[in-house]
A and B are shown apart, each in its own frame.
Chain A
Amino acid sequence: MEPRAVVSADEMQWALTRMTHEILEKNHGSDDVILLGIITRGAPLAERIGAIAKEQGHEIPVGQLDITMYRDDLRRNPTRMPSPTVLPAEIDDKVVVLVDDVLFSGRTVQAALLALADLGRPRAIQLVALIDRGGRDLPIQADVTGKHIPTARDERVRVQLTETDGEDLITIERSGQ
């Protein structure tokens, strides 16, 4: 089956704008907020949200979080190369907004929470996901979501971003074909 486009570039930009508003609204502005994108595709998304917020007059520090060492499936896969974690500021007593592209089982977020715990003690942690495709294995939910796309387990949601893949597009395809 051909991959089916579910989110266009325009829709993605619109969703990110809305998400940024929700973040600012939820935190009554941007004081003490730090955006941390989960590597790989959460990082450019965090940058974009930061850029949109700036257009609104809110300067939010943006960084990236590598969770390779904290994954619970390390031993099920070939060895992954870790990437640098970049903290734009100390996270102690700040509100860390984690940004990821797709929220599915929740295991990535669990790893991110463990990684954050080794880096400091934020006052609060919030989760932002561009796509929530359902199918959680863990009691985790997003505070801000771009789009809900209920999917089956054997489907694959593919997020492409201009920064990493050359274009903005989200598709769904059946895996194992």
Chain B
Amino acid sequence: MSATTLRGVQLPDGSRTDLHFADGVIVEEAPSGAEAIDCDGLLVLPGLVDPHTHLREPGREDAETVLSGSAAASRGGYTAVCAMANTQPVTDTAEKAEHVHDLGLKANLVDVVVIGAISKGLKGEELSEMGLMNRSRARVTMFSDDGMCLMNPQLMRRALEWVKPFGGVIAQHSQDSFLAGPGACCHEGELSGRLGLGGWPPVAESTIIARDAMLAEATGSRLHVCHITTAEGVEVVRWAKQRGINVTAEVTPHHLLLGTEELVGYDTKFKVNPPLRTPEHIEALRAGLADGTIDVVGTDHAPHAPQDKDHAFVDAKPGMLGLEQALSVVIETMVKPGRLTWEQVADRMSHAPARVASLSGQGRPLTPGEPANLVLIDPDRTATVDKAQSKSLSRNNPYDGRTLPDPVEATFLRGRATFSR
């Protein structure tokens, strides 16, 4: 395998160095014959880890495949993505988990980490075989019914208890389905009233987070809060952490940047669940990510085919692309205003999500002996997003036409370039 030197590259701590890697591992000394890349003005981060990706395979290969989603991920600087369970069929057995795992190995662009369903068929009625999934080749540790909230508190309690012996984590889509039912598609407020769209009130999120935090405390198990979107939700997580409850929280790039006003034209590319929120919530999310209350950025990359989006707003599928512009949005909303250092970006987008998903070979420090999972970035590069250029098979890109940072120069998975400009 080849050897590479990133010459004069800036590390997240601001220091400049020559970073060498050979045979997929970071090494101390420049190996002979190493290809040198002049990295003047460039920065290296540990390869990004997405704790929340929808790859759509199996079932909706017209919207995304493991291969196309992996390509989009490496384009966005990711070296690992956690693939959500709401495929067709749902990933709720060891066999199905191994199938997705194997597709990831075959694509070989990022580590595809399988998330298993908490309940069979995401129905919220019976537990799926979480232990068998954990002991399969896919080694599943994260479980989620994402797309659906696990409403039944008794089942939630049992799930937390069940995964505790093997160090699993329950990742909850926090949406009380009574307070925010099927028609809820717009942040509840003046705009939902004006547009006549079903309101999705913040309390539908915060009450579930509070309930689940108490269940995590009672069971001594581990909870991960997916795509948190409200100030109240952040406040509950902050309280739970102060109390010592084992909870982590995630925010999406789109909830950091885009506001509910985007819905004014009923453009379904802005339909996402939970919905885009108002400025006070966006500010609370940014503050929460800055102070560490929110641990990780998760893309909730949700590709959809046009025939699932070209409907009335309420009927269109929720979700938007995220893998390719996640780092762009974090730089725009958090780094440029000075709210996150590069070390903190490395934490929120690589180290912490790797910890949440219990990944040993991802999100590691950039020190000799560690796997060479890296992303080389030009922090000052910007570009206008063109949805047609996406590596994803889908085009529901909410940033289309916006000028944003476009930092990724190259992504390396265990020393091999999986993307380079």
Whether chain A touches chain B in the assembled complex (some CB pair under 8 Å): no
